[in-house]
Structure 1
């Protein structure tokens, strides 16, 4: 075991040494000029007189700089509306190379004045923001939710390039509220006062789900009360009602078995020898099953057009069971499991309100998954 550990340590040390000793020559040969410069800088920081790294840095930096400047010049001639983003990227790469070289004294002997384009980078960020801002305005002027959603992301991108660009923050807010879909959720309907408390609990679970919903920022859910208090005109209405439900359907099954066991000690002779014989019993096993089930209907309707956008049904079932037994005859004919069933006291079933709540649990899971799926990319 000790030998294996030494071998593993040696292999790891060699790998680390090989990685740390790279000079960037292979990257240079492959035309990855940026990588060749960064690797050469890293090598010279650890070994300032490494001849190969020095050669790679001198050659690689010039090639990298010319490559980025060529790409910038080509992009400036392009008619692509977002060309300033690629220009910005190349200026950033040039400046990163300069920062790395400036952090390496040995590198500065080879490249005394690495070029930085600070002003040019800031200008490219401004123009990149301007292009995205203009695109956002065009989309927002189309006056529809889909375009407003795209406009929001355009303004968001513009703000990343230049946080203070014009009134980009206000335009983001304007686009967001133009893109938002306001969904009012009506209370769950159940045509029975007997199950009101259980239905209220089910309703609370739904309320918690929509209150914490964050999958799509452009969807806002409101209860009917919230919509009324805030004077919200909905875009959609989501209604839920139990189309059908049955609580407490009871079934009792009885299974009768005739049991016998041979070679059971049933007594003794006068000279105290054990007498073996057969014992018999009749076992009655009872199974009570209480089934509750329901069907929840989901309908999503467009408020203005009254068009039904989604109509789904979600079934749920809960089955409660209890088993017990009784016997007649000799209990020695029964197994330990049979005896346990005979000693088991019949349980009281849950109240109807609990049964109602239990069959709604699988319905709730289906419901929230369906709502999440429908609004995921809405």
Structure 2
């Protein structure tokens, strides 16, 4: 509906920019639409006056980031001009030669300078929180003017000062048959931590990396299984009498004989349970205080069902016959069971890490 509008309603509501865009869209489809032509002339003049008024107010303002408002307003006016320039009919009544590119560049220069100066001041305070804020200011300056002064170098300096260094002590399991599965579990954790680094000021290191870089960590995150059990097997057997009436059992003197057939139906259910309890602890390296600690349980139960019978098969229903055809499945490998019970632990662990380090 907006694409078909002449823009008059938006104009009457004081939304002059929207009125211009709607009028342009209408004139591109219907160049002779008088209502849209009138709206475009009036709305463009009012929109331009409003933007220029906001630019003047922003320049005279004491607000720290007022040049960013100036940039935004000039870019909004340039967007209006670009829209008009793509419409031949519109260009006949609105000049598209007076774009404000020079004004935009000058305002961006001043906006970048403000952000850069704030970043330098914060960086000189030599603390992690100020370095984080400085990084954000340098990043914003670089967005306004790419490679502004030595902003790339300042970004790197601020990032290095802002990162929280965390050494992650992985789970160590001596039992040989679980070694491969434990490596899979640990690799999943480190993949998550590497992804987390990309969107934060936290950097995680293995103990080997920390030693090779001779770095002093801020935190030590340790993981250990308090206990785990893999492959506890339980077999449940259930026996029941089943029967079916009105089943043909034979013939007597040429006549079919019907009666009740019976069978003893035996079901087997085998479950193999595996579980463990992972301890997560984050310690402050300098004070040696525990910052957070949590136990995370995980359980996986593998099930297998099959059945057999004694007696007349016709006494069994469809589902019972289907289960009778099944045979006992081989037990899954211990490595598979280990991986499966660690999956819910992994989900808890990643949520906890994200929640805890969000404040850093």
Q: TM-score range by the shorter chain?
A: 0.7 to 0.9
Unmatched segments (≥5 aa) in structure 1: 1-14
Which runs of structure 2 are paired with 1:288-327 in the superposition (5 Å)?
A: 288-327=270-309
Q: For 2:89 and 2:310, how far apart are their aligned partners in 1? A: 101
Please name the residue that 1:73 is paired with: 56
Among 229, 234, 239, the alignment partner of 1:246 is 229
Task: Classify the secondary structure of the residue corresponding to 1:189.
Answer: coil
Deviates more, 1:102-111 or 1:123-132: 102-111
Q: Is this contact kept in 2: 1:301–1:307, CA < 8 A?
A: yes
Q: Is this contact kept in 1: 2:251–2:257, CA < 8 A?
A: yes
Q: Is this contact kept in 2: 1:101–1:114, CA < 8 A?
A: no
Q: Is this contact kept in 2: 1:300–1:311, CA < 8 A?
A: yes
Quote the offset at 1:156 in angstroms: 0.9
Please name the residue that 1:351 is paired with: 333
Among 360, 363, 368, the alignment partner of 2:342 is 360
Please name the residue that 1:198 is paired with: 181
Quote the offset at 1:193 in angstroms: 3.7
1:149-184: per-residue Cα shift (whole Å, max 9, x none)? 221111111112222432222111111121222222
Quote the offset at 1:62 in angstroms: 4.3
Which runs of structure 2 are paired with 1:119-134 in the superposition (5 Å)?
A: 119-134=102-117
Among 13, 22, 25, the alignment partner of 1:30 is 13
1:206-234: per-residue Cα shift (whole Å, max 9, x none)? 23333444562422222222322333332
1:69-96: per-residue Cα shift (whole Å, max 9, x none)? 3323322322111111122233334445
Q: Is this contact kept in 1: 2:218–2:286, CA < 8 A?
A: yes
Matched residues, number:
360
1:173 corresponds to 2:156 = yes
TM-score (norm 1): 0.79
1:322-370: per-residue Cα shift (whole Å, max 9, x none)? 3344444455544454455455433332233332222222222332333
1:150 corresponds to 2:133 = yes
1:27-78: per-residue Cα shift (whole Å, max 9, x none)? 4443344445555566667777766566555554544444333323322322
Please name the residue that 2:122 is paired with: 139
1:283 corresponds to 2:279 = no
Q: For 2:324 and 2:32, how far apart are their aligned partners in 1? A: 91
Quote the offset at 1:318 in angstroms: 1.6
Task: Classify the secondary structure of the residue corresponding to 1:216.
Answer: coil
Quote the offset at 1:246 in angstroms: 1.6
Please name the residue that 1:228 is paired with: 211
Deviates more, 1:319-328 or 1:106-115: 106-115
CA 1:16 to 1:30, structure 2 compared with 1: closer, same or farther past 3 Å? closer
Question: Which has more radius of gyration?
Answer: 1
Q: For 2:260 and 2:22, how far apart are their aligned partners in 1? A: 91
Task: Classify the secondary structure of the residue corresponding to 1:70.
Answer: helix
Which runs of structure 2 are paired with 1:335-346 in the superposition (5 Å)?
A: 335-346=317-328
Q: For 2:341 and 2:79, how far apart are their aligned partners in 1? A: 61
1:231-257: per-residue Cα shift (whole Å, max 9, x none)? 333222222111121222222222222
Please name the residue that 1:259 is paired with: 242
CA 1:98 to 1:239, structure 2 compared with 1: closer, same or farther past 3 Å? same
Task: Classify the secondary structure of the residue corresponding to 1:256.
Answer: strand
1:121-156: per-residue Cα shift (whole Å, max 9, x none)? 322221111111122223223322222222111111
1:284-335: per-residue Cα shift (whole Å, max 9, x none)? 3332222111111222222223233332222221222233444444555444
TM-score (norm 2): 0.82
Unmatched segments (≥5 aa) in structure 2: none
Quote the offset at 1:268 in angstroms: 4.5
Q: Is this contact kept in 2: 1:326–1:342, CA < 8 A?
A: yes
RMSD: 3.4
